[in-house]
Amino acid sequence: MQSWPPSPYRPGNGIDPPYLGDREEQIEAVRAFLKDARNPRNVLITGLRGVGKTVLLNHLQGEAEGLGWLVIDREFSEPDAEPLAFANALLTDVNRALRRLSLSTRLKDRAGNLLQAAIDVVGALTVSYGEFKVSVDTKRRRPGPHRRLDDDLKEAFTHIGELCRKSEYRGMVLRYDEFHVIREHPGSPTLSALLSATSAVQQHGLPLMLMLCGLPPVVDNLARSKSYSERMFTTLVLGNLRPPEDRAALVDPATRLGRRFADEVVDAVMIDSGGYPFFIQVYGDALWNGSHGETIQIADLRRLRPRILATLDAGFFRARYVRASPNERKLMRNIASFGESATIEQLQQASGRRNNEIQPTISALIAKGLVYRPERARIGFTAPMFGAFLQRTLD
């Protein structure tokens, strides 16, 4: 029996696949932005689960670092959406940037006073929300009343931008993943504070850039916080891989290691996976490890397909389904009865409930990152092929 190398396929969250297909156009566009620090441009990456958003974000982070940018990265989670936690995260990142800059020999030699002034300002940043107070490194106190988060961020970003110009860094990139969990809260300028401060600093030509990544609700969240947000970002909407890149993502890694897929296997995997990168990696990995011949045949796929679907159902899909309440699950199954999305009218008919009765459930599902609004009066799943999962499984 032929012994083959380990699987070249890499299913997982944010793990670089062996073939980064259909993304070169986006990479080239952002690379051009990074080369022009005098005219900073923000990037928003969005799309459904499993389309390779984090993979692309990581690739762009590498591009930024390779071109001399100071990159501060963070992956947000639902607890970070609280105003206090979000403010603390931003102020912590400001201090992370300043600590990195303080190690610059060029700054110590050429701009020591400016560096110390920034340390004085950033070290005492404080923002208050009602009875609560968030402080980061308050060894140096600032006189006067507490200010708004957007004012503090603007001042901090200005100092950091000026320091970057005098250091070996082109500028600073805030690289934030899972950003769809961040929403504006009434009376608490959080997301709007970040956008406002960034816009103000960029208008003065300082080298600050946002790289945000998240599920489709991130677009609405940004728009609700600042009406001009759509003009601040170049939005990269990722979907399934287009032909022939979808087939290449499955075929090329195997070919490089001396194996091939029968054409009918490739056709079947493209149908099953819908061309979504994560699913292609799952199928490729299972077929590689579960077959032995030089050519992976349709008989191999038929034998392994139930196991592949069971693995996806138990992991990728079920992990999302269990986050929903019983009432939310009913609505998700109502959506699935129409496929991967449904109109509000269809949901009213399927559930027997009025629009004002189902809207709170929809809002809860959106907040959990399980559904989104692909267009007006339509609700879709944020995970591709989630409707098919619900149709083939029971609670």
> Is 201 a domain residue?
yes
Q: Quick one: 349 and 295 in the same domain?
A: no
Q: Quick one: 251 and 359 in the same domain?
A: no
Q: 282, 299, 320 — which closes off a domain?
A: 320
Q: How far apart are CA 243 and CA 240, in angstroms?
A: 10
User: pLDDT digit string (tens) for 45-60?
Assistant: 999 999 999 999 999 9
For residue 185, the cross-strand partners are 188
Q: Quick one: 165 and 81 in the same domain?
A: yes
Q: What is the amino acid identity at position 330?
A: K
Among 84-98, 107-121, 157-171, 349-363, the range with the most confident prediction by mean pLDDT is 349-363
Dihedral (Cα; 55, 61, 64, 68), 10-degree rounding? -140
- Domain count of the chain? 3
Q: Quick one: 208 and 305 in the same domain?
A: no
For residue 40, the SS3 value is: coil
What is the pTM for the complete model shown? 0.89
User: pLDDT digit string (tens) for 266-316?
Assistant: 999 999 999 999 999 999 999 999 999 999 999 999 999 999 999 999 999
Identify the domain containing residue 376 by its residue range.
325-392
Q: Quick one: 162 and 255 in the same domain?
A: no
Give percent of the chain with pLDDT exceeding 70: 90
> Is 18 a domain residue?
no
**Cα–Cα–Cα angle for 252, 255, 257, rounded to 5 degrees:** 120
| Residue 131, pLDDT above cutoff 50 | no
> Is 385 a domain residue?
yes
Of 68, 53, 49, 43, whose CA–CA distance to 23 is shortest? Answer: 53
DSSP label of 325: -
Q: Quick one: 66 and 184 in the same domain?
A: yes
Q: Quick one: 156 and 64 in the same domain?
A: yes
Q: Quick one: 330 and 355 in the same domain?
A: yes
> Is 6 a domain residue?
no
Q: How far is CA 66 from the centre of its chain?
A: 21
> Is 19 a domain residue?
no
Q: 283, 300, 320 — which closes off a domain?
A: 320
| Residue 133, pLDDT above cutoff 70 | no
Q: What are phi and psi of 35, to 5 degrees?
A: -80, -10
* Mean pLDDT of the region 15-19: 76
**Strand residues in 138-192 grouped as ranges (E):** 172-177
In order of 2, 7, 259, 284, 289, the CA distances from 256 in angstroms are 16, 12, 8, 14, 16
CATH classification at residue 342: 1.10.10.10
pLDDT score, position 122: 67
Q: Rounded to the nearest 10 degrees, what angle do helices 112-123 and 149-166 cross at?
A: 160
Q: Quick one: 201 and 266 in the same domain?
A: no
> Is 182 a domain residue?
yes
CA atoms within 13 A on the CB side of 27: 16
Tokens standing for 327? 């009432």
DSSP label of 79: G
User: pLDDT digit string (tens) for 150-185?
Assistant: 888 998 899 899 999 889 999 999 999 999 999 998
Q: How far apart are CA 194 and CA 179, in angstroms?
A: 12
Which range among 47-51, 89-93, 98-102, 128-132 shows the weakest confidence by mean pLDDT?
128-132
pLDDT score, position 12: 82
